[in-house]
Amino acid sequence: MKKIITDLAVKGQKVLMRVDFNVPMKDGKITDENRIIQALPSIKYVLENGGKAIVFSHLGKVKTEEDLAKRDISPVAIRLAEVLGKPVKFINATRGIELETAINEMKEGEVVMFQNTRYEDLVEKKESKNDSELGKYWASLGDLFVNDAFGTAHRAHASNVGIAENIGEGKTAAGFLMEKEIKFIGGVVSNPDRPLIAILGGAKVSDKIGVIENLLDKADKVLVGGAMMFTFLKAQGKNIGNSLVEDDKIELAKELLLKGKGKLILPIDTVIVKEFNNDAEYSTVSVDAIPDGVMGLDVGIGTVELFSKEILGAKTVIWNGPMGVFEMSNFAKGTIGVCEAIANLTGATTIIGGGDSAAAAIQLGYADKFTHISTGGGASLEYLEGKSLPGVESISNKN
Q: Which CATH number goes with the domain that contains 345?
A: 3.40.50.1260
Question: Is the domain of 163 the same as that of 223?
Answer: no
Confidence of residue 32 (pLDDT cuts 50, 70, 90): confident
Look at residues 177, 205, 222 and tell me which one is the last residue of a structural domain: 177
| Least confident span in 105-109, 114-118, 199-203, 266-270 | 199-203
Question: Is the domain of 135 the same as that of 172?
Answer: yes
* Residue 397 in domain: no
Question: Is the domain of 325 the same as that of 342?
Answer: yes
Instruction: Select which of 2, 3, 18, 35 is catalytic.
Output: 35
- Tell me whether strands 144-147 and 283-286 are parallel, antiparallel or unpaired: unpaired
Question: Is the domain of 84 the same as that of 25?
Answer: yes
What does pLDDT average to over the chain? 95
Predicted confidence at residue 105, as pLDDT, reads 98
Question: Is the domain of 350 the same as that of 215?
Answer: yes
Q: Is 355 a catalytic residue?
A: yes
Confidence of residue 115 (pLDDT cuts 50, 70, 90): very high
Instruction: Select which of 187, 210, 378, 386 is catalytic.
Output: 378
On the question of pLDDT at 7 being above 80, the answer is: yes
Predicted confidence at residue 358, as pLDDT, reads 86
Count of the separate structural domains present in the chain: 2
**347-390 tens-digit pLDDT:** 999 999 877 888 888 888 898 999 999 888 788 989 999 999 99
Predicted confidence at residue 189, as pLDDT, reads 85
Q: Is 187 a catalytic residue?
A: no
On the question of pLDDT at 155 being above 80, the answer is: yes
- Expressed as residue numbers, the domain containing 275 is 184-384
Q: Is 378 a catalytic residue?
A: yes
On the question of pLDDT at 73 being above 90, the answer is: yes
What average pLDDT does this structure show over 262-278? Answer: 97
* Residue 394 in domain: no
Orientation angle between helical segments 333-343 and 301-311, nearest 10 degrees: 20
Q: Is 35 a catalytic residue?
A: yes
Instruction: Select which of 61, 125, 183, 204 is catalytic.
Output: 204
Question: Is the domain of 44 the same as that of 162?
Answer: yes
Look at residues 177, 197, 217 and tell me which one is the last residue of a structural domain: 177
Question: Is the domain of 230 the same as that of 321?
Answer: yes
Question: Is the domain of 222 the same as that of 304?
Answer: yes
| Least confident span in 17-21, 106-110, 213-217, 350-354 | 350-354
Question: Is the domain of 77 the same as that of 130?
Answer: yes
Question: Is the domain of 189 the same as that of 165?
Answer: no
To which H or E segment does residue 212 belong?
Answer: helix 205-218
What average pLDDT does this structure show over 232-251? Answer: 97
* Residue 316 in domain: yes
What average pLDDT does this structure show over 316-331? Answer: 95
Look at residues 177, 193, 212 and tell me which one is the last residue of a structural domain: 177
The pTM for the full model equals 0.90
- The dihedrals phi and psi of 345, each to the nearest 5 degrees, come to -70, 145
Category of 347 on φ-ψ map: left (φ > 0), alpha (ψ -120 to 50) or beta: left
On the question of pLDDT at 40 being above 80, the answer is: yes
